[in-house]
Amino acid sequence: MKKDLGVAAAVYPMPVLMVAAYDENEKVNVMNVAWGQIADDDKIILFIGEGKKTWLNILSSKAFTVALADKDHMDVADFFGIASGNRIDDKFERTGYHAVKSDKVNAPIIEEFPVVMECELLEHLKDEYVSAIVGKIVNVKADEKVLDEKGKVDVAKTNALIFDQFRSGYYVTGEKAGQAWNAGKDINLRK
Ligand SMILES: Cc1cc2nc3c(=O)[nH]c(=O)nc-3n(C[C@H](O)[C@H](O)[C@H](O)COP(=O)(O)O)c2cc1C
């Protein structure tokens, strides 16, 4: 018997995305974003609160990077979700992490995170209900240590964090349960 839980954001897993952008003086800022998703194959949509430092930076620089946070860097990833560059001028510097400028877009790449998407701002989508940053993914970079023998990202090697919005936990999993577009192929769909 199922219990009613009321209105809840009942999607799991959610990603733990490290969104980085420059301000007008190329100062690096990074925030933690769980409410984000891929649209089509080459676009990303991020639901970022208006006025947050990263939101302001993306609108002014027209670019950003999105990295997958991993277990080894969970404390800093969480810090990026607690502290704001609007209030702490040296938010990024306090972590001791390292940033390099992307060779593809006008945005910083945080070296410590293993997989990063380099994105150009396509649009700030706003209507009565949503405010979203829509970006075009122009390239992805990944540390060699998280690639398989075919050069694809092996998620088990990334130790990427997963966000649980029911109880605000960070999880990590590398257990593969099956293969998509394959696990259901033996069920006869025609009656
Ligand atoms: C796990 C986690 C997920 C978060 N997801 C989002 C999100 O999707 N959108 C958002 O606007 N803020 C989100 N936040 C809060 C921001 O990261 C936080 O407001 C941060 O201080 C913004 O930094 P900034 O002002 O330096 O850009 C999240 C925080 C945590 C801890």
Q: How confident is the model over 98-137, as pLDDT tens digits?
A: 999 999 999 999 999 999 999 999 999 999 999 999 999 9
pLDDT of residue 139: 98
Contacts of 44 (CB under 8 A, 6+ apart): 36, 37, 38, 66, 117, 119, 134, 135, 137
Q: Residues enclosing ligand 1, CB less than 6 A?
A: 29, 31-35, 47-49, 52-54, 78, 81, 83-86, 91, 163
Q: Atom 31 of ligand 1 has which residue's CA nearest to it?
A: 81
Q: Is the dihedral of CA 159, 84, 14, 105 positive or negative?
A: negative
List Cα–Cα distances, 119 to 12, 77, 80, 134, 156, in angstroms.
25, 20, 19, 9, 25
Residue 90 confidence class, pLDDT cut points 50, 70, 90: very high
Query: Residue 153: what pLDDT?
Result: 97
| pLDDT, position 188 | 79
3-class secondary structure per residue, the chain:
CCCCCCCCCCCCCEECEEEEEECCCCCEEEEEECCEEEECCCEEEECCCCCCHHHHHHHHHCEEEEEECEHHHHHHHHHHHHCCCCCCCCCCHHHCCCEEECCCCCCEEECCCCEEEEEEEEEEEECCCCEEEEEEEEEEEECHHHECCCCCECHHHHCEEEEECCCCEEEECCCCCCCCCCCCCCCCCCC
Q: What is the atom index within ligand 1 of the atom nearest the CA of 32?
A: 17
Domains identified in the chain and CATH numbers: 14-172 (2.30.110.10)
The pTM of this model reads: 0.97
Contact 93, 102 (CB under 8 A): no
Q: Whose CA is nearest to atom 23 of ligand 1?
A: 84
Count the Cβ atoms, other than its own, within 10 Å of residue 99.
Answer: 21
pLDDT digits (tens, 9 = 90+) for 2-33: 999 999 999 999 999 999 999 999 999 999 99
Q: Which of 33, 48, 165 to mutate to test the pocket of ligand 1 (most atoms within 8 A of CB)?
A: 33
Closest approach atom of ligand 1 to CA 83? 21
Q: What is the pLDDT of residue 140?
A: 98
User: Ligand 1 pocket: which of 28, 52, 162 to mutate (most atoms <8 Å of CB)?
Assistant: 52
Lowest mean pLDDT among 34-43, 66-75, 168-177: 168-177
